[in-house]
Each structure stands twice: as structure tokens, then as C-alpha cells.
Amino acid sequence: MQKIIAANWKMYKTRPEAAQTARELAGALASGLPDGRSVVIFPSFTNISEVADVFVANARVAVGGQNVYPEAEGAFTGEVSVAMLKDAGASWVLTGHSERRHVLGEGDGLVARKTAFALAHSLNVMLCIGETLQEREAGKLNDVLLRQVTTAFAGLPADQLEGRFAVAYEPVWAIGTGKVAGPAEVLDAHAVTRAIICDVAGQIGKKIPLLYGGSVKPDNAAALLGLDNVDGLLVGGASLAAQSFIQIVKA
Ligand code: PEP
């Protein structure tokens, strides 16, 4: 399976800054991406077209939105539609990111609606899941993964997921904290997640890329990518500077 290296730029960068970082990335990738790697960049909404323009001729670098609303259009102030994302040049969208779940209060039901709506309207989806420290310490890791995956998969067309859907396991306690999950924790959570996905989606579950995210840096990327069931990385802080993201892409 191809390894997907994804960049979540969160609420950082003005348009000139985003364009500059995108050009630096494009320059560093001019000689080609390493074999078996592809890249997805998730800039803020206002920067999607800027970044997409830079990579328009590079089929292995895609651009995505960090959020989407599960209606075609309407009175949903502050939200963004699938059509708007696609028009700006996005082919992917993140759903269920921990900052949306825990800072902005999104529940599993809304995450599921966003996931299903985006897939049904031709966006590829990267669904984020993961437990808080409290949940891990209370021994609830498997329950949380089961609940988040099962709710998001309910009603998804399993036969249409290949190449269009990825799951990112991001333990909330490792996001932006500098605390990367250890190899045993990543192996365990990814094995559990893979088993749940295969249970709910059938054979196709083996082909759904399972990314790890949470304080990925150039110096831990290669080790993480070498673990079983780790089909890529979702990178926040270390994706903001082109140099460190390129090191991760090439790790
Ligand atoms: C993220 O935003 O998805 C993320 C994993 O952030 P960081 O790499 O900064 O922990």
C-alpha cells in the first residue's frame, strides 16, 4: 500500500505564507516523491486554491479541506460546502479531527454525517479517531476506537472506499504536545483499529490506509512508518515548515 504523508496546517498561514511554503515543497519535490509515497496538504479554507495551484500538475500531491458541512448549501453561517472545497481545488477533507471534536464540540453523529456526505459527493475523506488521556488511563481505548469507527462507518458504501478513504489514529494526548505514542502503543491501537475496520467494512478494510498522527517529527517519522499497519502519517506542527515536512515525506 502507498504511504500517505499528510500535512495539517490548522489555522496557520496567510495566503502569501501558504503559497511560499507550497512553492518550497514543490521545489524540494521537483525531482519526484520517493516511490510509494503520496502527499495530501490540508491548508485553511482561504489558502486551498493558492496551494492547489502550485500542485495542479502533480498527481501525487493532493489538497484537502480541514472541515466540511454535510449539506449542499444553505443558511449555515461559517461553514463550507463540498462544492466550495472542490471549486477551490480540494479533493480530500478531514473529518473528526480531535480539535473539532474536543475544542469545537463535534460529536460522533456529526462526524459520521460529514464523512458520508463528503464521500457521496466525490471528496476523499481522512477520518480522524483517537482517545483522550483520561479515556486511555481509564482503560477505554478499545471502546473509544470501536465507537468512533463504527459510528463513522455506518451507512458508508464499503465497495466505494478503496483509494478514497483513510483513517488517521491520533491519540489526543499526543497532538501538539510533543508526546509521541511509543511503538507498542501505536502497534496496539493500529491493530485494534484495523480489526474493527475489517469487521465493519469487510475485506476492503485491509486496503484502507491507516495513518498515525501526534507529534510526528523528522526524527521519529521513519520508525513510525516502519511499524505494522502504519500506512502513513498525519503531521501538524512539523508540517508548517517546508524543510521539516520534506524530511518526513522522505523518511
Ligand atoms: C494534527 O494536527 O493532526 C497533529 C497530529 O498535530 P501535531 O503533529 O502537531 O501533533
Q: What is the pLDDT of residues 136-178, one digit of tens each?
A: 999 999 999 999 999 999 989 988 899 999 999 999 999 988 8
Active site residue 106: no
CA-closest candidate to residue 111, choices 120, 98, 121 = 98
H/E element, 211: strand 210-213
So where are the chain's domains?
3-249
pLDDT for the residue 202: 92
Where do the H-state alpha helices sit in the chain?
A: 15-28, 48-54, 82-88, 98-102, 108-120, 133-137, 141-153, 183-201, 218-225, 242-249
CATH class assigned to 3-249: alpha beta
| pTM reported for the whole predicted model | 0.97
Under the banding of pLDDT at 50, 70 and 90, the label for residue 129 is: very high
Ligand 1, from 215, 240, 244, 248: best to mutate by most atoms within 8 Å of Cβ? Answer: 215
CA-closest candidate to residue 175, choices 67, 100, 68 = 100
How, if at all, do strands 210-213 and 232-235 pair? parallel
Query: 170: Cβ below 6 Å to ligand 1?
Result: yes
Distance 213 CA to ligand 1 centre (A): 6
How, if at all, do strands 210-213 and 61-65 pair? unpaired
pLDDT per residue over 11-41, tens digit each?
Answer: 999 999 999 999 999 999 888 789 999 999 9
